[in-house]
Chains A and B, each alone.
Chain A
Amino acid sequence: MKRFGLAVAVIFALLAAACSSGGSGTGSTGANGQVNLVLWMGYTPPPPASQGVEYESLKGLIAKFTQLHPNIHIRMEYVDNDYALQKVTVALQGGEQPDISYQYGTNMPQVAQASELVNLTNIVKQPQYGWTDFGPGERDVATVNGKVLGIPALVDNLAVVYNKTLFAEHHLATPGPGWTWSQLAADAKAITDPSQKIFGLTFPADGSETTVWEYEAMLWEAGGHILTSDNTKAAFNAPAGVEALTWLRQMQQAHALYLDFHPDAGNSETLFNSGKLGMIITGPWDLSSFPNVHYGVQIMPSWAPGGSHQTISGPDNWVIFNNGPARVKASLEFLQFLTSPANLLQNSMATGDLPTKLSVVSMPGFADFNVKFPGAGVFAANLKNVEQARPQIAQYPRISAALGREVVEALLGQTSPQTALNSAAQQANSYLVVP
């Protein structure tokens, strides 16, 4: 009997361990009007202190909100942004979805298919949300098939960060706002020095969205489009797309381009910070990675003088999942609070993040932004060059993957730019016929 008792005890201990959910993901609504919300976000607390500023800022704003709304308690839970879609997918299967989740803009078409996602179309029309104050590119990315499903959480854009010291050493004029890609190419070639392993420009070559969105900015500047306006066919293989890819290939052939096959690992940032790269196309989030170089920031070049300097933005969103009316209402109150111009200003000044609302840029408190975060002011001003968004359709991630693969093949000279883009277009078109 002893033996049996032991076996039973072991079973229950193991089952208890296996089945306990750990309690994550579950908020609640109390009888006394107390609402407990769960917020998924990708910020980590310090240390290192430099990476904790966004966490601290959000935590401070939550504390401020809780003071104003003592009955709403918000628990921050860390979810790596890269896996937020997967985590939400799994959580939805088990009905354990958070109340608020941070999602990349590219995740929206997929998140949009969750029936638990709260449709915000009519809600954001209320004046207190200041919906039209968000940039057009941000609003586009929060909208899927005409339905507003997210509230902008973070906005950025691409510009060119250049090493002033290298420019001066080679007696090059610093780039002006009207510069062109051929000027950039000439500068990059002048800076390139194989004996010192110095490259003029870096370009991500892992074929991921990081590769694709940098290419897409160049495509748009050349007057091209990713898809036709009705999102039914690929359009990137038109002459504009070929021009952009050919330029990159020629830079690679001139050995002026450092192909970064592991952009997630931060190779390019390290090299730029070590003075090994003349220019890097990147966003405001990277500026804090360059403490060792004297850098400047300039908006994207145009193809022809006087042409388009538009850039691409990767806005991220807060989305709300339905866990009952009380929790939805509390979540909305919080996001409205979080995106009020005064709080956005406070967050920008604390973190260096660009404000998601355009009116913040002209607020008096914003004047010191570029002083406190050198170069970030160019990115803030560059928000007006965000003229379009990537197609918000469910097939986009797969199209992007095909485009990324083919861009890299062309960069490495396996195929010509036109052939590569045609092949990507053919794949994209086959994905687009499936709803």
Chain B
Amino acid sequence: MLRVRRILESDHVAGWAFAFPAVFLIFLFGLVPVAWSALLSFQQTNLISPPKWIGLANYRALAHDPLFAQSVEHSLVYTALFVPLSVVGGLLTAVALNRNIRGIRFYRLAVFVPVVLSTIATAIMFLWLLDPNFGLVNFLLSKVGLGPYGFFDSINGALYTIVGMTVWGWIGFDVIVYLAALQGIPRTLIEAAEIDGARSWSMFRNITVPLLGPATLFLVVWSSINALQLFDEVYFLTKGGPGTATYVVVYYLYSLAFSQGIAGYAAAIAYVLLVAILALTLIQLWIGRRLVYYAS
């Protein structure tokens, strides 16, 4: 009896008991769908009628699907632009905000506000601002003899407009992470460098940037995962268009599964994406382990 009681009162049981609800929910809403969609990817199914087992046919079909190829290309272009722009932009903004000037709290807040705004609200705002015929941006550009630009409505510009909008929307997150990391840089190192006569650029390059390595690695990994899963903005703003200009992988699989009733094929795309993200993350972590300096 005493033994049971001792086990029940041990820290392990209490710890797991506290963790259990979260673990259970992650299992239910995370792992079960992952396993289920693996099953779906080997089936021909619309989620309504009984599924048909077709083996690897969905995966084979991917190789001959031009729209999938375009979606992959757009996702890669988006990621290749979004990640460096938001991480480097976030770093520069954080350094600019890491000082004691009047109203610094206001500036920091202003940079962070877009992160907490709902995507739909910012999307509608950008639609109004960037409307080719009636938007404020084109109106102002026309005053200096530029434009009009199509922005979301132009085949060549829509994807880059989404890059710009999402960098604006997410840069605040990078800034907060970098600000926290900047506060953690020991003053002593900076002071020692100053005494040795280092210039500010040299200090930034040789002290600040290396010590921000762990934060940078985290942001690159996290931004890449998010960028490859771009969906909301495309869904709200362009529906993959004009034409196919902003078809990205997740939007394509969403439209297949939920508007066109081709869930098995969509699940196969989801799995390819999962594997791609996993591989990219592992590569990033592997490179990171070689480049990133951990202070402790």
Contact = CB atoms under 8 A, between A and B. Distances in A.
B258 A113 contact: no
Nearest to B124: A265
Q: Which 7 pairs from chain A and chain B are nearest by CB?
A: A113-B49, A7-B17, A409-B243, A14-B21, A398-B260, A397-B260, A261-B153
B256 to A, nearest CB: 8
Contact of B261 (A4, A11, A397): A397
Contacts of A405: 240-241, 243-244
Interface in A391-406: 394, 397-398, 401, 405-406
A178 B9 CA distance: 87
A135 B25 CA distance: 50
A36 interface: no
Given A115-B50, A197-B134, 12 more contacts: A3-B14, A7-B17, A11-B17, A18-B25, A110-B48, A261-B152, A261-B238, A262-B127, A265-B127, A397-B261, A401-B260, A412-B155
Contacts, number: 102
A208 interface: yes
B13 interface: yes
B39 to A, nearest CB: 13
Which DSSP category, helix, strand, loop or mixed, fits chain A's interface? helix
Given A7-B17, A10-B18, A412-B155, A92 B240 contact: no
A207 B8 contact: no
B262 interface: yes
Contacts of A427: 67
A4 B47 contact: no
Contact of A4 (B9, B21, B50, B241): B9
B255 interface: yes
Nearest to A15: B21
B239 A207 contact: yes
Contact of B48 (A92, A261, A398, A434): A92
Contacts of A398: 256, 260, 262
Interface residues of B, number: 43
A8 B17 contact: yes
Contact of B49 (A11, A114, A258): A114
Contacts of B24: 15, 18
Interface string B238-272: 11111110000000000110111110000000000
Contacts of A412: 154-155, 242-243
B260 A409 contact: no
Interface in B121-140: 124, 127, 131, 133-134
Contacts of B134: 197
16 contacts: A1-B9, A3-B9, A10-B21, A14-B21, A14-B25, A18-B21, A18-B28, A115-B50, A197-B134, A205-B241, A207-B240, A207-B241, A265-B124, A409-B155, A409-B243, A409-B244
